Amino acid sequence: MGVKIVTIGGGSSYTPELVEGFLKRYDQLPVDELWLVDIEEGKHKLDIVSELARRMIKKAGVPMKLYTTLDRREALPGADFVTTQMRVGLLDARIKDERIPLSHGILGQETNGAGGLFKGLRTIPVILDICKDIHELCPDAWLINFTNPAGMVTEAIQRYGAHKKAIGLCNVPIGMHTSIAKMLDRPIEDVRVNFGGLNHMVYATQVFVDGKERTKDVIEKWGTMTMNNITGTSWYRGFVRELGVLPSPYHRYYYMAKENLEEAIEKYKKNGTRAETVKKVEADLFELYKDPNLDIKPDLLSKRGGALYSDAACNLICSIYTDKRDIQVVNTCNRGVMREFEYDEVVEISCMITKAGPVPIEVGKLPKAAIGLVQQIKSFEVAAIEAAVSGSYDKALLALMINPMVSSQKYGTIVLDELLDAHRKYLPQFKAYYEQKDAERAAEAAKAAEEAKAEA
């Protein structure tokens, strides 16, 4: 029998890459039904993307049936895999996540710091609702999440989700693996890289070629590795040598905090935020997607920072379906493999992928110089999840103050208040906070009116 896959957030600009990934693996992963699900706000994008997907399927000549819907409960029954690639509040919400902190001299970024907190606050309640529907309508399905912040979302699912067969994905380890293989002038399949840590806080701990460890060689060569959304400032080799593991591009937000903040503020003042750049790229992509003659994934998609997420998802799904037992890097429960974390905490780690899911493997111990930072970020994730579930202002403030990218009680509080106001539509769990604020504002307005009346 064929495989049924449901993609929530099907109107995403990444969907053509997802479709391409399923098509090129069709002999191993016979997808019979692919459902693209979105919401009313994303319907116009869903319509455009689904037509391109149909042209791609027709060109491939495979018997894959494509369905679209705005009702996920219509799509979910009988699903074998569910993928999530959502952006609650769309790109306009991300623009606010970046602009508001930057206006106060604090770095705003999609998955880190204040921006990452608010993306989590908007996303986690929605993901947990999706988990309820999956548990009811397709309880045997695997949930493959590459909605950011992927680590925080996967942790929330494991702590509070009704459906716990969930795996998180990120494209950062793929990019690092590719760079390491290129550095060693070897095909990527000849190079094994072990990863351990957290999402966007992962380290390459070991590198092997032909069974021989080459970690020290790579550390000596590790220099400028860039991503579309992160500055290309190179690492000092002495620092990486003493650290003993390879930092990811996202570590620049912590180890090069001042440089990144200065660059982001300069861009914010001159050309706008990364989110605004992405919005322009996405607009160009959808203009391409409208072309009735286009029946392949366009090269422009590689300009998006999340390129390769979708292909990674296809690869993971294929390995689970075929019980391939290959090694992939995913976000899953630690199971005691990394002693720096609790047994059930979600980590980003190299795993053997089986039909029963990911099995973490030994990846080497993180150095003491890195442990403090990763544990600080894990505490931030946990506090953020508690805030997302409870709607507590104080828990959200705690999360913000824990994060090293904020480091200011005064401006952190200002940013928290402004972001809460900016995202009110997407944060119903903070109803009590908003009611209190409304009452305080009404009282202040009434007082001001009384004072004005008395003066008159």
Pair of tokens at residue 21: 């990934």
In a domain, residue 438? The reply is no
Cα 249 from Cα 64, distance rounded (Å): 37
CATH code, domain carrying 263: 3.90.1820.10
Percent of the chain scoring above 90 in pLDDT: 84
Q: Classify residue 152 as exposed, middle or buried by CB count within 10 Å of its CB (0-12, 13-18, 19+).
A: buried
In this predicted structure, what is the pLDDT of residue 223? 66
Of the pLDDT bands very low, low, confident and very high (cuts 50, 70, 90), residue 232 is: low
In a domain, residue 440? The reply is no
Is the pLDDT at 225 greater than 70, yes or no? no
Q: For the CA atoms of 341, 347, 352, 353, what is the dihedral angle to 10 degrees? A: 140
Q: Nearest to residue 375, comparing CAs of 206, 214, 254?
A: 254
In a domain, residue 444? The reply is no
In this predicted structure, what is the pLDDT of residue 194? 97
DSSP 125-153: HHHHHHHHHHHHH-TTPEEEE--SSHHHH
Is the pLDDT at 299 greater than 90, yes or no? no
Is the pLDDT at 303 greater than 80, yes or no? no
The mean pLDDT value for 151-173 works out to 96
Is the pLDDT at 305 greater than 70, yes or no? no
Is the pLDDT at 81 greater than 60, yes or no? yes
Of the pLDDT bands very low, low, confident and very high (cuts 50, 70, 90), residue 19 is: very high
Is the pLDDT at 229 greater than 60, yes or no? no
Q: What is the pLDDT of residues 170-214, one digit of tens each?
A: 989 999 999 999 999 999 999 999 999 999 999 999 999 998 999
Lowest mean pLDDT among 25-34, 181-190, 223-232: 223-232
DSSP run (H or E) holding 413: helix 409-422
In this predicted structure, what is the pLDDT of residue 215? 95
In a domain, residue 21? The reply is yes
Q: Which residues touch 422 (CB under 8 Å, ≥6 apart)?
A: 96, 100
**For the chain, what is the domain count?**
1
> Which of 14, 203, 250, 254 is labelled catalytic?
250
Q: How many CA atoms lie within 13 A of 24 on its CB side?
A: 13
Residue 160: active-site member = no
Is the pLDDT at 455 greater than 90, yes or no? no
Of the pLDDT bands very low, low, confident and very high (cuts 50, 70, 90), residue 108 is: confident
Q: What is the pLDDT of residues 261-280, one digit of tens each?
A: 998 898 888 878 888 988 99
Residues spanned by the domain of 153: 1-432
Q: Nearest to residue 140, comparing CAs of 334, 396, 356, 329?
A: 356
In a domain, residue 291? The reply is yes
In a domain, residue 45? The reply is yes
Q: Give ∠ CA 187-190-195 in degrees, rounded to 5.
A: 105
In a domain, residue 456? The reply is no
In a domain, residue 73? The reply is yes
Is the pLDDT at 120 greater than 90, yes or no? yes
Handedness of CA 254, 248, 352, 152 (dihedral sign): positive
